Amino acid sequence: DAMVIQNPRYQVTQFGKPVTLSCSQTLNHNVMYWYQQKSSQAPKLLFHYYDKDFNNEADTPDNFQSRRPNTSFCFLDIRSPGLGDAAMYLCATSRATAGNSPLHFGNGTRLTVT
């Protein structure tokens, strides 16, 4: 089955220690998104790639970076995690950025910062 896969499912890092979360897709979708979801809140878009074109949300902290080396993979780098960055991180894909193109989500990576 075509899908969006996130690794790892659970990640523990220390305060200030860089961490990378990964996402891969077999859907061959052009767009890949990273969302941050804190407890009992809606997902918050951090940024997205349309193909290799990177689009950052205005309120995404500089501490968060992303890389998309090819169509299938996308990485979220947190350069210096703080306690407030503990959250579920969701990767999603869509065929296009058009509003009628549904998102397909991975199962998320739950990040704990100690």
Residues forming contacts to other proteins in the complex (CB under 8 A) are 4, 6, 9, 40-43, 45, 88, 90, 92, 97-100, 102-108, 110
- CA proximity to 20, closest of 83, 66, 88: 66
Minimum CB–partner distance for residue 92 and other proteins (Å): 8
Distance of closest approach, residue 38 Cβ to other proteins, in angstroms: 12
Between 16 and 66, CB nearer to other proteins = 66
Give the CA diameter of the chain.
Answer: 40
Report d(CA 16, CA 19) in Å as an integer. Answer: 9
